[in-house]
Amino acid sequence: MKNPMSLIYKINRSPRRRHIALKVSGGELYVLAPADASNDTIAAVVQAKAAWARKHLESQQAQLRHLPLRQWQTGEQIRWLGQPLTLVIARGTRKRIERVGSELQLTLAARSPLPTTAHQLVRGWYQAQAQQWLDDFFQHWQVAELTPRTWSVGDFSSKWGHCTRSGALRFSWKLWLAPSWVVRNVVIHELCHLQEFNHSAAFWQLVARYSADYQAAEQWLRQHGMTVLSNQYLDYCEVEESFTGK
């Protein structure tokens, strides 16, 4: 949307949110709003914070302009649980992907478009590996009151995970580019929403009970999230963290 001062922004409404907040991430402006917030109310908040938003938009966009874009070609690196894997791309009779040591080897059919097909193969591989990671995690998780009904891996562009009131957890495959301790913290974060469907003091106390380093994980996500979640980068890039203001 565009407000009267010509700021373009995206609105994310949530029944869990009580107040309107602004966030600048990936060089874009997001409005995090309660489910019942009107467009007029949101526009008024954006207008009141226009100077703040422009400052951080310009800062992030300037940094992003200097980052290399992913080309999906041999020699590029992508991470699995924080460890780099080198992409090796070849042509063959059929599509396939497998990890061989520190390489992620892709075979593309002769006429397959390179960037699109390589991205699809990598995404599918990550989703399968991440699903296995989750299955193993929950096989050893023994907190009965924090046990989800189902869990799965999807493709999100602006969040790491999601918990529903029915007890289903869903995570972005891009989370598994992060170090394993960060992944574990995100999973525990969403598990705690099964008992506290909010971000209250009680929620964070519950998170701290099962994840002693959750604050460091939150900081890691703020610092690196905007480039790891983006299909343009999908890596750790030293850029300014997201800013939130009410």
DSSP 16: T
Task: Between 1 and 57, name the one with better pLDDT.
Answer: 57
Q: What is the CATH number of the domain that holds 239?
A: 3.30.2010.10
* E strand or H helix that includes residue 107: strand 103-109
Give a yes or no: residue 3 inside a domain. Answer: no
On average, the pLDDT of the chain sits at 89
Across the range 113-130, mean pLDDT stands at: 95
Residue 141 sits at φ, ψ, to 5 deg, of -75, 125
The region, left, alpha or beta by phi > 0 then psi within -120 to 50, assigned to residue 103 is: beta
Q: How many separate domains does the chain show?
A: 2
Give a yes or no: residue 115 inside a domain. Answer: yes
Domain with 236, as residue range(s), is 77-245
3-state secondary structure of 234: coil
At residue 5, does pLDDT exceed 60?
no
Across the range 9-16, mean pLDDT stands at: 88
Asked if 226 and 130 sit in the same domain, the reply is yes
Residue type, 31: V
Give a yes or no: residue 70 inside a domain. Answer: no
The pLDDT tens digits of the residues spanning 152-201 come to 999 987 789 999 999 999 999 999 999 999 999 999 999 999 999 999 99
Residue 246 confidence class, pLDDT cut points 50, 70, 90: very low
- Return the pLDDT at 1: 54
High-pLDDT (> 70) share of the chain, % = 94
CA-to-CA distance for 185 and 187, rounded, in angstroms? 5
Give a yes or no: residue 98 inside a domain. Answer: yes
Asked if 100 and 44 sit in the same domain, the reply is no
Asked if 229 and 140 sit in the same domain, the reply is yes
Task: Between 59 and 93, name the one with better pLDDT.
Answer: 93
Give a yes or no: residue 40 inside a domain. Answer: yes
Asked if 210 and 137 sit in the same domain, the reply is yes
> Which residue, of 64, 89, 108, is where some domain finishes?
64
The pLDDT tens digits of the residues spanning 23-79 come to 887 778 889 999 999 999 999 999 999 999 998 888 878 877 777 889 999 999 999
Give a yes or no: residue 88 inside a domain. Answer: yes
Asked if 128 and 166 sit in the same domain, the reply is yes
Tokens of 193: 């929403």
Cα–Cα distances in angstroms (integers) from residue 224 to residues 55, 82, 182, 217, in the given order:
20, 12, 11, 11
Task: Between 211 and 24, name the one with better pLDDT.
Answer: 211
Asked if 60 and 175 sit in the same domain, the reply is no
CA-to-CA distance for 6 and 4, rounded, in angstroms? 5
At residue 240, does pLDDT exceed 70?
no
